[in-house]
Chain A
Amino acid sequence: SSELTQDPAVSVALGQTVRITCQGDSLRSYYASWYQQKPGQAPVLVIYGKNNRPSGIPDRFSGSSSGNTASLTITGAQAEDEADYYCNSRDSSGNGVVFGGGTKLTVL
């Protein structure tokens, strides 16, 4: 399969921890990368590789993976973390690229 599957929506209470997951066959070979997108803005890379954060991304964002599932964890969610989150990797063929359908995170 060349698809990545995400839950459409997740909510978290302010200050609590939330995990967003992404499943797909290609994740057995590729680490997922994760993007945060706020309304009207371009996506921003927040996690890549085994668990790497680009400069400027808070350390409350972390990544992990097991088998065909990758996870993005936000420890101590803040109001500004409310956004859509997308996972991404190469597809199973290694030539194409796939995105998950996105998860809308609501911070309560």
Chain B
Amino acid sequence: QVQLQQWGAGLLKPSETLSLTCAVYGGSFSGYYWSWIRQPPGKGLEWIGEINHSGSTNYNPSLKSRVTISVDTSKNQFSLKLSSVTAADTAVYYCARARELTGARYYYYMDVWGKGTTVTVSS
């Protein structure tokens, strides 16, 4: 059974860079999109971006200028960096595995999630 284990700094000061890593255990790294999602306190889910095993990325346009997602296939890990954080970046950050299936109609879903990392930005 695939599991995602994530870690990273939980307390940052404004202007610092958020850095999180997610390790994939028990499954293949190829054939999926590896995603980052966040959830501010009391609010809904916001997609940050994704990467596939070959390193191709897609980012949320609202965060694109500050986000970098990278992959290390040798370690079955992928990482998120978000630069110049502010209090508005305070959230629980999740990593997730996503699948996309093509056909007459497309499937897209996130079937495995990490437990989440709480990140607080405060001076």
User: Which residues of A line the B interface, CB within 8 A?
Assistant: 29-31, 33, 35, 37, 42-45, 48-50, 54, 84, 86, 88-90, 94-102
**Across the interface, do B47 and A99 meet the contact criterion of CB distance under 8 Å?**
yes
**Across the interface, do B58 and A96 meet the contact criterion of CB distance under 8 Å?**
yes
Task: Name the A residues within 8 Å of B45 (CB-CB).
Answer: 35, 37, 43, 86, 88, 99, 102
User: Which residues of B line the A interface, CB within 8 A?
Assistant: 35, 37, 44-47, 50, 58, 60-61, 94, 98, 100-101, 105-111, 113-116
Provide the bound-state CA to CA distance between A49 and B116, in Å. 25
Provide the bound-state CA to CA distance between A89 and B44, in Å. 15
Task: Name the A residues within 8 Å of B60 (CB-CB).
Answer: 96-97
- Additional A-B contacts beyond A31-B106, A48-B111, A102-B45 (9; CB < 8 A): A43-B94, A44-B113, A49-B101, A88-B110, A94-B106, A97-B60, A99-B45, A101-B44, A102-B44
**Across the interface, do B105 and A29 meet the contact criterion of CB distance under 8 Å?**
yes
**Across the interface, do A98 and B47 meet the contact criterion of CB distance under 8 Å?**
yes
Q: List 13 A-B contacts (CB under 8 A).
A: A30-B106, A30-B108, A33-B107, A35-B110, A43-B110, A43-B113, A45-B109, A45-B110, A45-B111, A88-B45, A88-B110, A90-B106, A97-B98
